[in-house]
């Protein structure tokens, strides 16, 4: 950073409410999203713990809940999936870190539409509260899973949580779609119009590329879900029959007030959103991983252009493969073949990325910090979870493995765990810029090893359960003989889950302790090149609004031969 | 001494920065930044830049709305060809009943919408003129500028919504309700969602129209509101004709 840059460190004084609650500052909104997701992940993890306990000991009495009945189990399942997919994996990597760091890395003074940004956060918060409200209404939360397959989700008398609980779910997700679309508009406009002078597209950090492509995916995918959710709400409350088939029997009674629609239509619309959604969750994580591996290997990222191309290719292919979620729903074999081929094709850009990550590390002077460990963990989990992807993409094999624990293992490893590792990496890495202090390294490393071994201990055995034919989504299969034989493995998974979730307490303690007691961080503690590190830590409220940086270098100029410093700032 | 090796060393110097050209030529409009190399006064430049940013935003919103209606159209075509399974006779039956559209009222509504697009465009032009005159320090001539084009547009927008209500009432009096037939469900969904989106644009226009009477000082933000809503409003008109064409030509 040139010493002459006029950065004023005097805080911008705004009244309390404008500063902390109704702030239009992207840095405050980013932090708000971060804490919203933290709340959501705690609830979601608690629900998974309850489910795991129930699976290991079906008749155990859990404190505050009592014995878990089948409808409770399904409600926990639905809420766990919804919270984790929408309010954690789609929220914190994109809207949390993205809102905070996209403008800073691009050298912009704020997002393109700051008030829209604030509206997006408040819509997300309201939708989060509406979702949680479903636990406290008569009948409880919805039972239909995060995919809300019709007709189960379309008929109020189909189950205990299918009344008000499902309506609340749909309203909540409708609002979430709205807020996601609003923030996607903001992200794309910011990337297109607010870059600092000299910040060409090929000089953007890979994190920004990932946020940009993810925003495009969000924009297209969430619009589809919005339309589908509106149609389902109409089916439930206005008597239309878009998704309810004719001649349906529920609990022995014929459904007479619906004229006949198609549950398959819901599946198509849902998965046309749902598959891009997977990439919405994991692409920002890929960006963070690429960025961090380069920073801590002290090497330029290997194949920058290939990384950008792979990001775009994954995004584009992500829209053409939704059918692989529906092989078991019945499908023309030719369509199945097309979906299968396209799905397998995603392995190509994914392999390019994986190769480039490993090649970035190769021969680097690696600094083994906690963020690096978590990024490497991301690569590990991405490979492990990814390898089962091409298997599940084969229609013949998928019909057998569909709705077994094999699928649970696959998507938890590649989407949930890998995504979460990227979030952890980003938290440890950007914590100094967000809160002005460093997180504790020793606790961080302990947290990493517990989480890494824990994730594998939980999800690797699930592959075996799936191959042996253990179906998912059932609350209790005690009477079924071949499943009973797998009870010891289920119990092992539950123990691993308890240990892993308990291990996250280390992270929480580290987070809150470091926020107030950690070592005070300098402007650039990790010796990075990107623009956010030219600002003091924590990033002051005015950001780049009183001086605009001019970018002269690429984002990954490390280990420059013959230079006195081993890195070159982008504006230097 | 390996002399050749030295050459190779120079040839293989690693390229810096992990991709991307080392030197990017500076040009205007790079990421919207103020490069400082333009001749126009910076206030004017910033205003243009701001308007362009808003245009990108509204274009993206238009993409979203388009997708919502594409989804409905796909469902419409899909449902039309599907029919339903009749259990008593154990066969598939074609249950789609084509809707008798109230054409006269729909055509009047279309005309109102076209007129509103024209008045909005006139309003936009007169506001742009005013801004340019103001930038040159000239008091604008009071010819076109004082006719309340914006107010006209708002009135026509409300007239269109009222006209749609008449259409719905008309159908309801014939016993065609939301749940009567798949065709009527789709008709109400299409027209209803279009009306909701149009109402959103109407709110922004209402803000601009009322603002121009209440607070003269915020002329700039009103102008942006009109410019941006202009795109959205014309898109709503096009969308309406798309829906109308679909409902007419693909009746089933």
A67 has which bridge partners?
A61
Q: Which of B13, B20, B35 sits opposite A197 (nearest CB)?
A: B35
Beta-strand pair A249-250/A253-254: antiparallel
Q: Which of A192, A224, A294 sits opposite B56 (nearest CB)?
A: A192
Contact in structure between A85 and A273 (CB atoms under 8 Å): no
Q: Which residue of B has its CA nearest to A229?
A: B68
Helix (H) or strand (E) holding B149: helix B149-173
Q: Which residues of chain B have pLDDT under 50?
A: 1-42
Beta-strand pair B91-93/A253-254: unpaired
DSSP assignment of A64-115 equals TTEE--HHHHHHHHHHHHHIIIIIIITTIIIIIHHHHHHHHHHT-SS-S-HH
Q: Which residue of B has its CA nearest to A558?
A: B17
pLDDT band, very low/low/confident/very high, at A127 (cuts 50, 70, 90): very high
- What are the phi and psi torsion angles at A249 (to 5°)? -110, 130
pLDDT at residue B91, as a whole number: 82
Distance CA B168, CA B149 (A): 29
- The arrangement of secondary structure in B43-249, i.e. its CATH architecture, is Up-down Bundle (1.20)
A66 contacts: CB under 8 Å, gap ≥ 6:
none
Q: Which of A203, A230, A265 sits opposite B24 (nearest CB)?
A: A203
Look at A107 and A252; give whichever has higher pLDDT: A107
B185 touching A (Cβ < 8 Å) = yes
Q: Measure the CA angle with vertex A510, ends A505 and A512; round to 5°.
A: 95
Distance CA B152, CA B233 (A): 14
- What are the phi and psi torsion angles at A9 (to 5°)? -100, 0
Q: What is the C-alpha R_g of chain B?
A: 27
Average pLDDT rounded to a whole number, residues A280-307? 96
Identify all chain A residues contacting B19, using CB atoms and an 8 Å cutoff: 202, 300-301, 303-305, 307-308, 554, 556
pLDDT band, very low/low/confident/very high, at A343 (cuts 50, 70, 90): very high
Contact in structure between B179 and A240 (CB atoms under 8 Å): yes
Contact in structure between A319 and A277 (CB atoms under 8 Å): no
pLDDT at residue B218, as a whole number: 64
pLDDT at residue A424, as a whole number: 98
Average pLDDT rounded to a whole number, residues A436-452? 97
Helix (H) or strand (E) holding A62: strand A61-62
Instruction: Give the tens place of pLDDT for each residue, A372-422.
Output: 999 999 999 999 999 999 999 999 999 999 999 999 999 999 999 999 999
Distance CA A105, CA A555 (A): 9
Percent of residues in chain B assigned helix, strand, coil, to nearest 5: 70, 0, 25
Distance from CA of B178 to the nearest CA of A (A): 7
Identify all chain A residues contacting B31, using CB atoms and an 8 Å cutoff: 106, 192-197, 199-200
Distance CA A525, CA A536 (A): 10
- What are the phi and psi torsion angles at B93 (to 5°)? -120, 150
Across the interface, do A200 and B178 touch by the CB < 8 Å criterion?
A: no
Query: Is pLDDT above 90 for A261?
Result: no
Identify all chain B residues contacting A112, using CB atoms and an 8 Å cutoff: 53, 56-57
Identify all chain A residues contacting B56, using CB atoms and an 8 Å cutoff: 112, 188-189, 192-193
3-state secondary structure chain B: CCHHHHHHHHHCCCCCCCCCCCCCCCCCCHHHCCCCCCCCCHHHHHHHHHHHHHHHHHHHHHHHHHHHHHHHHHHHHHHHHHCEEECCCCEEECCCCCCCCCHHHHHHHHHHHHHHHHHHHHHHHHHHHHHHHHHHCCCCCCCCCCCCHHHHHHHHHHHHHHHHHHHHHHHHHCCCCCCCCHHHHHHHHHHHHHHHHHHHHHHHHHHHHHHHHHCHHHHHHHHHHHHHHHHHHHHHHHHHHHHHHHHHHCCC
Distance from CA of A14 to the nearest CA of B (A): 23
Distance from CA of B171 to the nearest CA of A (A): 16
Of the candidates A176, A185, A22, A33, the residue with the CA atom closest to the CA atom of residue A94 = A33
Q: Of chain B residues 59-78, which have a CB less than 8 A from chain A?
A: 60-61, 63-65, 67-69, 71-72, 75, 78
B17 touching A (Cβ < 8 Å) = yes
Across the interface, do B189 and A231 touch by the CB < 8 Å criterion?
A: yes
3-state secondary structure of A439: coil
Distance from CA of A58 to the nearest CA of B (A): 40
Which residue of B31, B34, B172, B188 to mutate against A (max A Cβ within 10 Å)?
Answer: B31
Q: Of chain B residues 133-152, which have a CB less than 8 A from chain A?
A: none
Across the interface, do A265 and B78 touch by the CB < 8 Å criterion?
A: yes
Q: Which residue of B has its CA nearest to A203?
A: B20
Instruction: Give the tens place of pLDDT for each residue, A483-492.
Output: 999 999 999 9
pLDDT band, very low/low/confident/very high, at A221 (cuts 50, 70, 90): very high
Greatest mean pLDDT range, A151-160, A451-460, B210-219: A451-460
Using CB atoms within 10 A of its CB, is residue A398 exposed (0-12), middle (13-18) or buried (19+)?
A: buried
Beta strands, E only, B59-217: 84-86, 91-93
Across the interface, do A228 and B71 touch by the CB < 8 Å criterion?
A: yes
Query: Is pLDDT above 60 for A307?
Result: yes
Distance CA B114, CA A247 (A): 45
Query: Is pLDDT above 70 for A55?
Result: yes
pLDDT at residue A347, as a whole number: 95
pLDDT at residue B108, as a whole number: 97
A281 contacts: CB under 8 Å, gap ≥ 6:
A85, A89, A90, A93, A415, A419
B178 touching A (Cβ < 8 Å) = yes
Across the interface, do B16 and A192 touch by the CB < 8 Å criterion?
A: no
A307 contacts: CB under 8 Å, gap ≥ 6:
A206, A209, A290, A301, A352, A353, A356, B19
Which residue of A154, A193, A237, A572 to mutate against B (max B Cβ within 10 Å)?
Answer: A193
Distance CA A375, CA A377 (A): 5
- What are the phi and psi torsion angles at A186 (to 5°)? -65, -45
Which ranges constitute the DSSP H helices of B25-87?
42-82
Instruction: Give the tens place of pLDDT for each residue, A90-119.
Output: 999 999 999 999 999 999 999 999 999 999
pLDDT at residue B9, as a whole number: 39
Q: Which of A193, A202, A219 sits opposite B31 (nearest CB)?
A: A193
pLDDT at residue B213, as a whole number: 59
Q: Which residue of A has its CA nearest to B48?
A: A193
Distance from CA of A8 to the nearest CA of B (A): 20
Distance from CA of A552 to the nearest CA of B (A): 7
Across the interface, do B17 and A556 touch by the CB < 8 Å criterion?
A: yes
Q: What is the C-alpha R_g of chain A?
A: 24
Across the interface, do A227 and B67 touch by the CB < 8 Å criterion?
A: yes
Residues A200-219, buried b or exposed e (16+ Cβ, 10 A)? Answer: bbbbbbbbbbbbbbbbbbbb
Q: Which of B17, B32, B177 sits opposite A557 (nearest CB)?
A: B17
pLDDT at residue A257, as a whole number: 78
pLDDT at residue B212, as a whole number: 59
pLDDT at residue B131, as a whole number: 76
Beta-strand pair A66-67/B84-86: unpaired
Distance CA B240, CA B223 (A): 25
| Neighbour tally for A278: CB within 10 Å | 21
Length of chain B as a residue count? 252
Average pLDDT rounded to a whole number, residues A541-552? 87
Of the candidates B33, B72, B17, B38, the residue with the CA atom closest to the CA atom of residue A224 = B72
- What are the phi and psi torsion angles at A92 (to 5°)? -75, -40
Task: Report chain A's mean pLDDT, rounded to a whole number.
Answer: 93
Distance CA B37, CA B31 (A): 14
Across the interface, do B87 and A247 touch by the CB < 8 Å criterion?
A: yes
Instruction: Give the domains, in start order, of chain A with CATH numbers.
Output: 29-243+260-534 (1.20.210.10)
Identify all chain A residues contacting B34, using CB atoms and an 8 Å cutoff: 197, 548
Q: Which of A202, A262, A307 sits opposite B21 (nearest CB)?
A: A202
Helix (H) or strand (E) holding A253: strand A253-254
pLDDT at residue A11, as a whole number: 54
Query: Is pLDDT above 50 for A130?
Result: yes
Instruction: Give the tens place of pLDDT for each residue, A26-48.
Output: 999 999 999 999 999 999 999 99
Average pLDDT rounded to a whole number, residues A297-310? 96
3-state secondary structure of A42: helix
Helix (H) or strand (E) holding B151: helix B149-173
Q: How many CA atoms lie within 13 A of B30 on its CB side?
A: 24
Token pair, residue B214, equals: 């209440």
Percent of residues in chain A assigned helix, strand, coil, to nearest 5: 65, 0, 30
Look at A65 and A506; give whichever has higher pLDDT: A506
Distance CA A46, CA A42 (A): 6
Query: Is pLDDT above 70 for A447?
Result: yes
- What are the phi and psi torsion angles at B31 (to 5°)? 65, 20
Distance CA A178, CA B236 (A): 19
pLDDT at residue B11, as a whole number: 41
The domain spans of chain B are 43-249
């Amino acid at each position: 950073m040139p010493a002459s840059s006029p950065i004023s460190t005097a805080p911008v004084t705004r009244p309390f409410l404008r500063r902390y609650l109704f702030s239009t500052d992207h840095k405050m909104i980013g932090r708000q999203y971060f804490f919203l997701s933290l709340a959501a992940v705690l609830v979601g993890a608690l629900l998974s713990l309850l489910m795991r306990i129930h699976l290991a000991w079906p008749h155990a009495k859990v404190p505050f809940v009592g014995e878990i009945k089948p409808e409770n189990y399904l409600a926990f399942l639905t809420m766990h999936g919804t919270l984790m997919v929408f309010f954690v994996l789609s929220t914190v990597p994109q809207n949390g870190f993205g809102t905070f760091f996209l403008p800073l890395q691009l050298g912009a003074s704020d997002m393109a539409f700051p008030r829209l940004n604030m509206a997006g956060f408040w819509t997300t918060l309201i939708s989060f509260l509406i979702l949680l409200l479903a636990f406290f209404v008569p009948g409880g939360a919805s039972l239909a899973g995060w995919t809300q397959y019709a007709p189960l989700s379309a008929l109020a008398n189909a189950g205990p949580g299918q009344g008000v609980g499902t309506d609340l779910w749909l309203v909540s997700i409708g609002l979430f779609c709205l807020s996601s679309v609003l923030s996607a508009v903001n992200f794309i406009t910011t990337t297109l119009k607010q870059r600092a002078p000299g910040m060409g597209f090929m000089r953007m950090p890979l994190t920004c590329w990932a946020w940009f492509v993810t925003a495009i995916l969000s924009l297209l995918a969430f619009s589809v879900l919005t339309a589908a959710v509106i149609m389902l709400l109409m089916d439930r409350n206005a008597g239309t029959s878009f998704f309810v088939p004719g001649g349906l029997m529920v609990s022995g009674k014929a459904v007479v007030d619906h004229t006949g629609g198609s549950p398959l239509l819901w599946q198509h619309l849902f998965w046309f959103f749902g598959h891009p959604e997977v990439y919405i969750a994991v692409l920002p994580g890929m960006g963070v991983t690429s960025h961090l591996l380069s920073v801590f290997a002290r090497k330029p990222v290997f194949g920058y252009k290939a990384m950008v191309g792979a990001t775009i290719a994954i995004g584009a292919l992500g829209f053409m493969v939704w059918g692989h979620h529906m092989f078991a729903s019945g499908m023309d074999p030719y369509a199945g073949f097309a979906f299968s081929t396209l799905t397998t094709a995603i392995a190509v850009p994914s392999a390019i990325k994986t190769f480039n990550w490993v090649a970035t590390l190769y021969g680097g002077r690696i600094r083994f910090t906690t963020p690096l460990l978590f990024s490497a963990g991301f690569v590990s989990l991405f490979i492990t979870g990814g390898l089962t992807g091409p298997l599940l993409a084969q229609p013949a094999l998928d019909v057998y493995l569909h709705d077994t624990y094999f699928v649970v293992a696959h998507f938890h490893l590649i989407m949930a765990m890998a995504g979460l590792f990227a979030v952890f990496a980003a938290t440890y890495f950007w914590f100094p810029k967000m809160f002005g202090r460093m997180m504790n390294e020793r606790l961080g490393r302990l947290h990493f090893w517990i989480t890494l071994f824990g994730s594998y201990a939980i999800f690797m055995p699930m592959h075996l359960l799936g191959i042996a034919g253990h179906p998912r989504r059932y609350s209790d299969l005690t009477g079924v003989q071949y499943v009973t034989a797998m009870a010891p493995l289920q119990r092992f998974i539950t123990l691993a889950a308890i240990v892993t979730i308990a291990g996250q307490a280390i992270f929480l303690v580290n987070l809150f302790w470091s926020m107030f007691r950690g070592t005070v961080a300098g402007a650039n503690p990790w010796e990075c090149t990107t623009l956010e590190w030219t600002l003091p830590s924590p990033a002051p409220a005015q950001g780049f609004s009183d001086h605009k940086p001019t970018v002269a270098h690429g984002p990954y100029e490390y280990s420059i031969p013959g230079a006195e410093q081993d890195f070159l700032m982008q504006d230097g | 001494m390996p002399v050749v090796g030295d050459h190779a060393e120079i040839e293989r110097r690693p390229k810096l920065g992990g991709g991307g050209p080392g030197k990017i030529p500076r040009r205007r409009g790079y990421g919207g930044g103020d490069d400082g190399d333009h001749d126009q006064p910076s206030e004017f430049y910033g205003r243009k830049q701001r308007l362009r940013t808003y245009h990108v935003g509204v274009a993206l919103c238009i993409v979203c709305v388009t997708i919502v209606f594409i989804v409905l159209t796909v469902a419409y075509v899909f449902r039309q060809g599907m029919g339903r399974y009749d259990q008593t006779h154990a066969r598939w039956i074609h249950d789609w009943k084509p809707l008798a559209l109230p054409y006269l009222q729909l055509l009047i509504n279309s005309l109102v919408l076209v007129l509103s697009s024209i008045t909005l465009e006139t309003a936009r032009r007169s506001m742009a003129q005013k801004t340019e005159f103001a930038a040159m320090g000239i008091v604008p001539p009071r010819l076109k500028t004082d006719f309340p084009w914006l107010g006209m547009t708002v009135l026509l927008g409300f007239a269109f919504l009222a006209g749609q209500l008449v259409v719905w009432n008309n159908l309801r009096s014939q016993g065609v309700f939301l749940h009567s037939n798949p065709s009527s469900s789709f008709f109400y969904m299409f027209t209803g969602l279009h009306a909701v989106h149009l109402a959103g644009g109407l709110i922004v226009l209402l803000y601009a129209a009322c603002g121009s009477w209440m607070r003269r000082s915020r002329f700039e933000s009103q102008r942006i509101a009109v410019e941006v809503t202009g795109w959205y409003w014309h898109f709503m008109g096009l969308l309406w004709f798309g829906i109308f064409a679909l409902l007419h030509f693909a009746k089933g």
